[in-house]
Chains A and B, each alone.
Chain A
Amino acid sequence: MSFTIANTIDDVLTALAAGARPIAGGTDLVVGARQGKAPLPADLVALDRVDELRTIGPEPGGGIRIGAGVTHATLVHDATVVGAATSIADASALVGSPATRHVGTLGGNVMNGSPAMDTGAPLMVLDAAAELRSLRGTRRLTMTELWTGPGSTAAEPDELCTALVLPAESDRSGSAYVRLEYRRAMEIAVVGAAAAVTLADDGTIARLAVALAAVAPTIVAVDVSAMIGHRVDDNVLAAVALAASDTATPIDDLRASADYRRHTVGVMARRAVDAAVRRAGGEPIGVPVNRSIGIGVAS
């Protein structure tokens, strides 16, 4: 049994190589252990004092690098994230409660691998890569490569997710994340959808990506290539909803039936595309989209 408080990434990698498991805010690990889902690992290395993991900055060569230890509370307000990766701010604003957001991190959300994670669909539509480091070296995986099933990733036990790296965004781009929820706080997505769009000069869709949460063993992408070159209208939004529902392979559980999830994820996908297109066109829609378009707003 050991508990190591790391101050540098190298401290963490050394501890992982010796068999320790990482703990950031503990909002999944400690809660899971207390619920009896999985015992607390015998050897832990704490990441919350590693300053190198808690920065947001430009990626050399273009794009944004978000340290894996950045908390949800920071992501909600960070000007770079809100400006160029708005869907991540939308998602972070919905995670847990203020207490969860102050200790929970982007890297923790990603590496916990829940198919219902809020930040996952935004990262996928923004073409993010997860940077994994170990004493053996550094590699980058796409989100599709990273998530292999519910609660599992392609990372080796000695690898630490150090950053999520986003490519540079074109002009006239926007993204959004919308989820179905039964309450405003301490909620897990019933279903969720993210969209990222780039508009051409003539206002048609030059790039579109849609990804879904809580309807498959992992976050899943929807094939929306048929929408490229079209102007966004009701027909396109209806086609997006249909494609999302067709992509979903949800389960029945105590929060929703599979049929309800399959239908509502289409509605969320449609709303996400609509909000992303409006943002791409310069319309300011506040973070999170859920509150701005009236989901869960106090009457």
Chain B
Amino acid sequence: MSESFQLRVNDVEYPLSVDQGRNLLGVIRTEIGLTGTKEGCDDCECGACMVLIDGQPVNSCSYLAVQAQGREITTVEGLAEGDELDRLQRNLLEVGGVQCGFCTPGMLMSATALLAEHDDPSDDEIRIGLSGNLCRCTGYARIIEAVRRTADGA
């Protein structure tokens, strides 16, 4: 049976009518049409589906859409200001922290939450902050460098 509710994603309210068992990832991608958030493992292991709920990172593959009502959801599409990338996105591109790009939206969301909580994280805090996100291309070093640069004000 469908549940009718609203989700607030990137400051926009979306009225929805979906089954209560639907996961947040599927609803964001197919009902709302924001496809920046990726489905990797669909099993809470890889972090490609990471979104922010009230500023905190959540694996959207394993979170019920209906449970996110009344919360502020942020996806990767919510980071840029119009055509202007935010500093973290720009730093990730400039240091070469993006290869195939599949993990990138999830990395950006975990790093955004980390930087909101720690304005000067240690390298170990960065590693822990990104520990729920797998990348099979970069070896992580340049992603960590991009977070470091952003924290340093670049």
Contacts and interface: CB of A to CB of B under 8 A. Distances in A.
Interface of A: 1-3, 5, 23, 26-27, 30-31, 33-35, 40, 44, 46, 48-49, 73, 96-100, 102-103, 184-186, 298
Given A5-B69, A184-B131, A185-B132, A100 B59 contact: yes
B1 A1 contact: yes
- Which secondary structure dominates where chain A touches chain B? mixed
Contacts, number: 84
Given A27-B44, A34-B23, A97-B132, A103 B64 contact: no
Contacts of A49: 70
Given A27-B44, A30-B64, A35-B43, A186 B132 contact: yes
A100 B133 CA distance: 12
Nearest to A33: B21
Contacts of B43: 31, 34-35
B45 interface: yes
- Which secondary structure dominates where chain B touches chain A? mixed
Contacts of A2: 20
A97 B114 CA distance: 12
Contacts of A97: 47, 131-133
A102 B57 contact: yes
A267 to B, nearest CB: 24
B62 interface: yes
10 shortest interchain CB distances as A-B pairs: A97-B132, A185-B131, A1-B1, A102-B56, A99-B57, A3-B20, A30-B62, A31-B62, A3-B66, A40-B21
A99 B69 contact: no
B21 to A, nearest CB: 5
Interface stretch (B7-15, B97-105, B122-130): B122-130
Given A30-B63, A102-B57, A5 B44 contact: no
A100 B44 contact: yes
A48 B67 contact: yes
Nearest to B129: A98
